[in-house]
Amino acid sequence: MTTRALVLGGGGPVGIAWECGLLAGFAKAGVDVGGADFILGTSAGSFVGARIALGADVAALAEPILAEANRPPPPAPGPGPKDQPPDLGKLMQLMGEAQAGVRNPTEARAEIGAFALQAQTISEDDFIASFGKSFAGLAPDAWPEKDFACTAVDAQDGGFRLWTKAAGVGVTRAVASSCSVPGIYPPVTIAGRRYIDGGMRSSTNADMATGYDVVVVVALRVAGGGPVSDRIAARLDEEIQTLKDGGSTVVVVRPDDASVEAFGPNLMDFRRRPDAARAGLAQGEAQAATLKELWG
C-alpha cells in the first residue's frame, strides 16, 4: 500500500489563504490531499494542516477567506499603524544570517528568539485567543486523530521542536507556536519554554516527512528573490534530496505567476488574503491532473 505525506510550508496570513485555495482547488478537481497518511505543517502550513487533520472539508477551506473581500480587513498585528502590514525588515535580516550557512544555525536561531522575546507585540493570551474560532470547542490537550505534526523553534536556545501527538501538547497552542512570527507575534509558552515560528529552521522542514512513498510539498515563493529567498530555495532542494534518498517520490507545488502577483510584497498583509485564496483555487483546479494518478 502506497503511503502518502503532505508537507505545507510557511507564508504568513497570505500563505494560509493561498494554501486553503490551492488545496480546495485540488479537491474540487478530484484530488483530496486531506487523505494523506501524514500531514506536516510549518507556520502557515501548521494552521492549514491542523484544520485538515481535524476533519475540515478540504473543498470548502477557501470559502471563509473569499468572503473576507466583503468585510473590512482585521487590524495588523504588532506595533505600528494598524492599517498597514508590519515591517519584516529586521526579521529578514536575522533569517538571512541564520540561513546563510556560515554560522551555527542553532545559535543564529537563538538570536532570532532573543529578538522575538524582546519585541513589543500583542499579548500571548490574545494571540492564542485569535485561533479560537478555528479550533473552537477543543480541549486544551486535544490533538487530531490523523497523524499530524507541526514545527517550532525554542526561543531561548534555538533548538528545533517537532510537535506530535506523543508530545502531549494541545494542537491550538502547538499551532500558535509554529505561527509565532518573531517580532510580529509573541513567543508561545509550552511546558515552561517559549517557542517561535518553525520557519526559522526551514520554511518547509520537509525532511521530517522522510520514509513515505509519495510526498507532496507545498512551498511558497514571492516575487523579487534575493539572498534569503535563494537560501530558502537551496534548503528546500536539500530537503527534497533527503526525501528522495529515503525512497520517496516527491512533488513540489509552488505558486504560479498569477498567485505570486496576488500575494503582493508582504505575506503578512491581511488585505491580500481573498486574492491569494482565489489565485490558489484557480491554480489547484488547473494543476490537479498532475497529481491525480500519483496521489490515487
Q: What is the pLDDT of residues 71-122, one digit of tens each?
A: 776 655 555 544 555 556 667 777 766 666 667 889 989 999 999 999 999 9
* % residues pLDDT > 90 (the chain): 73
What is the chain's alpha carbon radius of gyration, rounded to the nearest angstrom? 18
Kindly report whether the global pTM for this prediction surpasses the value 0.95.
no
Q: Are strands 148-154 and 160-163 parallel, antiparallel or unpaired?
A: antiparallel
For residue 95, the one-letter residue type is M
Strand partners, 149: 40
- 69-74 long-range contacts, Cβ below 8 Å, gap at least 24? 69/274, 73/270, 73/271, 73/273, 74/270
From CA 48, how far away is CA 230, in angstroms rounded? 25
Q: What is the pLDDT of residue 25?
A: 98
Q: What is the pLDDT of residue 296?
A: 75
Q: Which three cell numbers stand for residue 176?
A: 500558535
Please compute, for residue 190, the number of CA atoms within 13 A of its CA located in the half-sphere on the CB side: 27
Query: Which DSSP state fits 182?
Result: T
The mean of the pLDDT values for the chain is: 90
Q: What is the pLDDT of residue 76?
A: 55
From CA 14, how far away is CA 221, in angstroms rounded? 11
Closest CA to 11 of 44, 53, 46, 51: 44
User: Of how many residues is the chain composed?
Assistant: 296
Closest CA to 179 of 5, 11, 6, 4: 11
Which residue numbers in the chain have pLDDT < 50? 81-82
For residue 74, the one-letter residue type is P
Q: What is the pLDDT of residue 88?
A: 61
User: Which class for 35: exposed (0-12), middle (13-18), buried (19 or more C-beta within 10 A)?
Assistant: middle
